[in-house]
Amino acid sequence: MCTIEEYFDNIFQDQEPKTLYEPILYTLKLPGKRLRPQLVHIAAEMFDGNSENAGLVASAYEMLHNFTLIHDDIMDKAEIRRGRPTVHKKWNTNVAILSGDALVVTALLQIHKLSCNPETILSVAKLFAQVSMETCKGQQYDLDFETVETVTIAQYLKMIQMKTATMFAGCLKSGGLVANADTESLQALFDLGIHLGIAFQLADDLLDVYADTEVFGKSIGSDIKDNKKTFVYLKALELSNETQAQRLQSLFSASNNMNEKTKFQEVKAIFDAVNVKQATEEKISYYIDKCFEDIDHIRVDEKKKNPVKSLIQQLKNRSK
């Protein structure tokens, strides 16, 4: 079986026009966690699925994920991704728009290479389109939240479910689909993806404030710098007294042009005072518990569930 890097080389190397495919291969080869492909394989292996088929779906979801990164980086004006210049910085916005478009279409074509019965391929393809749609909607809500005054925690959780967790759910369920898993297990895999995806994003929000920069691999405090209304911020607001809340809101207002480091320190001091780290960790634990309940509904031998359980533990304790 090919590694995912070999897949990408096979698909994109020597393809014409080079101007379209070079930025795609550059993006796919940036060092990443390859979490979404892992999820597809873990689900497929639980049901002894064909690894070639799982590999095709895994590559499709990694491409979908990278398509969202390329386009989101334009929208967020992000200059660095995984330690390297973003596509729109290294090339330009036009290149980033069109390479992103070509990448998501290539992902689709991967699904059409599956050697399964037509019903299964259709299910995988339809799910892929539904996941892509939810991801777009989630990104739009994320952009909208930048300009509205108040975001509730419920709205925030709905947004990250759409933007991040649905793709996790799509990966796990698609792995099950190509391995002919039963209906109940497919639903459990989907639910597991939702809960795991939310826990993953909450952990990400927390790492932006509390990570060890050397392990995390990216600079911390970027959400604070960009006034992002993450779970950590929203929960801290909820836990604050009136003075702390007013100060936090003023620190996160667009008109505030304080020095980046001073702002980070003052925000973190309030976060510490209201103990938002612990509150966020409790919320993460709540979703991790849900994951284990979902796993109970997957109808395979308990031994087969070990890989997914250990992945969840890893993500729970993630430091990067």
Task: Provide the binding-site residues for a second copy, judged by CB under 8 A.
Answer: 16-17, 19-20, 71, 74-75, 93-94, 97-98, 100-102, 104-106, 108-109, 112, 118-119, 121-122, 125-126, 129-130, 132-133, 136-137, 139-141, 143-144
- Residues facing 81 on adjacent strands: 84
Q: How far is CA 126 from CA 3, 118, 187, in A?
A: 25, 12, 15
Nearer to a second copy, 143 or 215 (CB): 143
Nearer to a second copy, 121 or 274 (CB): 121
Verify cis geometry, omega within 30 degrees of 0, for the bond prior to 17: yes
Q: What kind and span of H or E run contains 163?
A: none
Nearer to a second copy, 44 or 127 (CB): 127
Shortest CB 96 distance to a second copy, Å: 9
Give the C-alpha separation, 199 to 182, whole Å.
Answer: 26
Shortest CB 320 distance to a second copy, Å: 28
Shortest CB 154 distance to a second copy, Å: 15
Contact between residue 168 and residue 196 where contact means Cβ atoms under 8 Å apart: yes
Shortest CB 133 distance to a second copy, Å: 5
Nearer to a second copy, 158 or 305 (CB): 158
| Sequence-separated (6 or more) residues with CB below 8 Å from residue 33 | none
Give the C-alpha separation, 174 to 61, whole Å.
Answer: 10
Shortest CB 3 distance to a second copy, Å: 24
Shortest CB 74 distance to a second copy, Å: 6
Nearer to a second copy, 146 or 212 (CB): 146
Look at residue 305 and give its three-state secondary structure.
helix
Shortest CB 122 distance to a second copy, Å: 5
Nearer to a second copy, 41 or 71 (CB): 71
Nearer to a second copy, 76 or 281 (CB): 76
**Radius of gyration (C-alpha) of the chain in whole angstroms:** 20
Nearer to a second copy, 44 or 60 (CB): 60
At 31, phi and psi to the nearest 5? -65, 120
Contact between residue 280 and residue 205 where contact means Cβ atoms under 8 Å apart: yes
Shortest CB 30 distance to a second copy, Å: 20
Look at residue 148 and give its three-state secondary structure.
coil
DSSP code per residue over 53-106: HHHHHHHHHHHHHHHHHHHHHHHTT--EETTEE-HHHHS-HHHHHHHHHHHHHH
Give the C-alpha separation, 2 to 258, whole Å.
Answer: 50
Give the C-alpha separation, 59 to 281, whole Å.
Answer: 32
* Residue 306 in tokens: 């070990």
